[in-house]
Amino acid sequence: MKKLALGYVSCLPQTQLVTKFLEELKNERLMGTRCRKCGTKYLPPRAHCKCGSEDVEWFEASHRGKILTYTLIGFPPKSMSKHAPYVVAIAELEDGSRLLAQLTGVTLKTLRVGMPVQVASRPLSKDKIVYEFKPIEPSCGCAKRS
Ligand code: ZN
């Protein structure tokens, strides 16, 4: 069987941790690692903590969180060029971990720091998957007017 890879831009090295992360993502579980020494959480998972420890354990992260910061990407890598401009955001999830992902389902008018989002994953093809943020409540009814 082919290994599952992250869609669009493969920014993650294909380690065992990433393979498990992507497999769990397929089952709509968001799995990260937590350092047993200092408690720092990594999402997507990492085998080495910034404190120098390699003693990490799995945890399941919340699917809900709030936007901490975002940026509008106007000149993306080639694989994403047909989606530009798009928004990439960092959200703090309810369990305290942080995740960077594309934010979809928003307009520049509705976009704001602190907006509640949920993490959604969807397969792009048999062997590719993406995860993204979506607003929890549709904060505007103007989507069809464009
Ligand atoms: Zn640590």
pTM for the predicted model, two decimal places: 0.84
CATH code for the domain in which residue 34 is found: 2.40.50.840
Q: How far is the CA of 65 from the centre of ligand 1 (A)?
A: 23
Q: How far is the CA of 24 from the centre of ligand 1 (A)?
A: 23
In-domain check, residue 143:
no
What is the residue range of 47's domain? 5-136
**Could you give the number of structural domains in the chain?**
1
Distance, CA of 143 to CA of 107 (rounded, Å): 8
In-domain check, residue 145:
no
Q: How far is the CA of 59 from the centre of ligand 1 (A)?
A: 14
> Which tens digit of pLDDT belongs to each residue from 108-121?
888 999 999 999 99
Q: How far is the CA of 45 from the centre of ligand 1 (A)?
A: 13
In-domain check, residue 26:
yes
Q: How far is the CA of 32 from the centre of ligand 1 (A)?
A: 14
Q: How far is the CA of 94 from the centre of ligand 1 (A)?
A: 20
Question: What's residue 145's pLDDT?
Answer: 44
In-domain check, residue 146:
no
In-domain check, residue 142:
no
User: Taking 70 as the threshold, does the pLDDT of residue 57 lie above it?
Assistant: yes
The model's confidence at residue 1, banded by pLDDT at 50, 70 and 90, is low
Residue % of the chain over a pLDDT of 70: 90
In-domain check, residue 10:
yes
Q: How far is the CA of 140 from the centre of ligand 1 (A)?
A: 41
Question: What's residue 144's pLDDT?
Answer: 47
Q: How far is the CA of 132 from the centre of ligand 1 (A)?
A: 27
- Among residues 58, 83, 61, 59, the alpha carbon closest in space to that of 73 is found at 83
In-domain check, residue 141:
no
Residue indicated by tokens 């069987």: 1
Q: How far is the CA of 50 from the centre of ligand 1 (A)?
A: 6
In-domain check, residue 72:
yes
Distance, CA of 142 to CA of 133 (rounded, Å): 19
Q: How far is the CA of 46 from the centre of ligand 1 (A)?
A: 11
SS3 16: helix
